[in-house]
Amino acid sequence: MNLNNPINSRMLRYSRWMASAAMVSVCANIAVAGSQIIEAPITDVTKIVERVEERIPFESCHVQRVVVPSSSWSDSMTPVLTGGLIGGAIGSEIGRNSKRKSLIIGASALLGGSIGRDIYRSSNHHSSPKYRTREVCDTDYRIREYQQVTGYRVRYEYNGSVYETITDSHPGATMPIEVSVTPLH
């Protein structure tokens, strides 16, 4: 073959190019066990949305009138103290010449305090109820509802077929997939 001839030179280059292309094609078609990652085109992306409820606590306070129970004598200690003083004075007179004067005075003071308390209770028992105002606070809850994206339903195409998967984030225009090749023999 004469290489100085332009037609022969082109044929030689074309033959070499064809041989290289054939070699690449043969190497690409050899089945080798393993996997590779390729970018598959995305055909559709749909958001997966869930309704979320959040309970937010807050304190709610208001002033309220409350009835003071009539059995409560904590409003004033005056009747008890007054009864105790009167009882103690009477006991002092009774036990003036007694060896047990201190005991008689103490017992009389206790009895006088008890009588004073009972008189106070009975005199207030038939009166109208007493009221106090106080601040009453409760914990209430406000419900906040909102939509939250929890994932994406993604359809992608590979080798003429459409597949579907769910992802945490939006994949973009393509999605990496792993393709495994296993020989049949």
Extents of the domains making up the chain: 1-30, 71-128
Q: What is the pLDDT of residue 175?
A: 92
Q: What is the pLDDT of residue 13?
A: 55
Which helix (H) or strand (E) segment holds residue 100: the answer is none
Residues 6+ apart with CB under 8 A from 50: 147, 148, 150
Per-residue tens of pLDDT for the chain, all 185 residues? 554 555 555 554 554 545 454 444 444 444 445 789 999 999 999 999 999 999 999 999 999 988 876 654 456 778 778 887 888 888 888 878 888 888 888 888 888 888 888 887 777 655 677 788 989 899 999 999 999 999 999 999 999 999 999 999 999 999 999 998 888 87
Check if the beta carbon of residue 130 is closer than 8 Å to that of residue 73: no
Check if the beta carbon of residue 56 is closer than 8 Å to that of residue 145: no
Q: What is the pLDDT of residue 84?
A: 79
Q: What is the pLDDT of residue 68?
A: 75
pTM beyond cutoff 0.85:
no
Q: Which residues of 37-53 are buried (b: 16+ CB within 10 A; e: fewer)?
A: eeebebeebeeeeeeee
Q: What is the pLDDT of residue 157?
A: 95
Using alpha carbons, select from 155, 151, 153 the residue that is nearest to residue 168: 151
Separation CA 173–CA 178 (nearest Å): 17
Q: What is the pLDDT of residue 121?
A: 75
Q: What is the pLDDT of residue 106?
A: 86
Residues 6+ apart with CB under 8 A from 82: 116
3-state secondary structure of 127: coil
Using alpha carbons, select from 87, 105, 86 the residue that is nearest to residue 95: 105
Instruction: Print the SS3 string covering 169-181.
Output: CCCCCEEEEEEEE
